[in-house]
Amino acid sequence: MVAERFTVDLDKPLVFQVGHLGEEYQEWIHQPIVCVEGPRFFQSDFWEFLTRTVWWAIPTIWLPVVCYVLSISAARGLTFPQMGLIVAFGVFTWTLLEYTLHRFLFHIETKSYWANTAHYLLHGCHHKHPQDGLRLVFPPTATAILLVPLWKLLHLIATPATAPAMLGGILFGYVMYDCTHFYLHHGQPKEPTFKHLKKYHLNHHFRIQDKGYGITSSLWDRVFGTLPGTKAAQKKKL
């Protein structure tokens, strides 16, 4: 007997369906559906609410936190030039985190029921519905949970004065990342840098999905050899 192939019903909540795709899950999520209206994830209105975030919630919630942790460093004796350097290093650290998480966690290959389900919630949903405007930025609840171990780690490796400023830099880098990510999907940039970034990122979604992991910059793709080739270069290989 041949096992019947599982088909996802897009008119029903998706989260507990996608796990049944098994090994076909990876192929399924990389066949994007382009529509602004996103699918329903959960039957429960409460859990559904937690998966939806308007983009402006990110700077509204987290920029005051950035200012607060910087004020802690200032109160502990850091000068503004010192804080500026630490924040810049924190932003730089975020760009590496952004690349590493996107490449090695968000694009991990899964095939078991629960692994597929977890991956869909983490990143698979974004590749399946890349224009879903309410699931483009990271939910603040999840961010708050992740900040706790990061705060503790920074206090282990940095001084009491520099740790808050370092957290502020990383968090500021994250805010820039999430706002940039939303803009690349829904904005119409005219400035050359953002026009390039939009083309670069949409190329990751619709043409070469195992390259181009940087969102705010292609720096780490260049460093680690995941820079996507141009169409002209690919034609030459053929």
**In the chain, domain spans:** 14-229
For residue 13, is it left (φ>0), alpha (ψ between -120 and 50) or beta? Answer: beta
Buried b (16+ CB within 10 A) or exposed e, 118-157: bbbbbbbbbbbbbbbbebbbbbeeebeeebeeeeeebeee
Asked whether the predicted pLDDT for residue 232 surpasses 60, the reply is no
d(CA 82, CA 76): 12
pLDDT of residue 233: 44
State mean pLDDT over 143-162: 96
Q: What is the pLDDT of residue 18?
A: 96
- The pair of structure tokens assigned to 69 is 């942790």
Sequence-distant (6+) residues with CB within 8 A of 152 are: none
The reported pLDDT for the residue numbered 230 is: 62
What pLDDT, on the 0 to 100 scale, is given for residue 47?
94
* pLDDT band (50, 70, 90) for residue 21: very high
For the segment 158-176, the average pLDDT, to the nearest whole number, is 97
Residue 13 has pLDDT above 70, yes or no: yes
What's residue 4's pLDDT? 64
Query: What pLDDT, on the 0 to 100 scale, is given for residue 234?
Result: 47
Average pLDDT over residues 161-175: 98
Going by C-alpha positions, the residue among 20, 18, 40 that lies closest to residue 31 is 18
H-type helices in the chain, by residue range? 15-18, 25-29, 45-50, 57-75, 80-100, 113-119, 125-128, 140-157, 162-186, 192-206, 219-224, 231-237
pLDDT of residue 12 exceeding 60: yes
pLDDT score of 211 more than 70: yes
pLDDT of 164 over the 90 cut: yes
Q: What is the mean pLDDT of residues 176-188?
A: 96
Query: Rounded distance, CA 234 to CA 129, Å?
Result: 27
By three-state DSSP, how is residue 39 classified? coil
Average pLDDT over every residue of 201-219: 94
Q: Check whether 237 has a pLDDT greater than 80.
A: no
Q: What integer pLDDT is reported at residue 2 of this predicted model?
A: 41
CA 129, 43, 118, 14 dihedral sign is negative
Considering only 29-38, 48-57, 180-189, which range has the smallest mean pLDDT?
29-38
As a dihedral over the C-alpha atoms of residue 175, residue 179, residue 184, residue 188, rounded to 10 degrees, the angle is -150
Q: What is the maximum alpha-carbon separation in the chain?
A: 73
Interval 56-112: pLDDT, tens: 999 999 999 999 999 999 999 999 999 999 999 999 999 999 999 999 999 999 999
The pLDDT value given to residue 229: 79
pLDDT above 70: percentage of residues in the chain: 95
The confidence band for 37, taking pLDDT boundaries of 50, 70 and 90, is confident
Length of the chain: 238
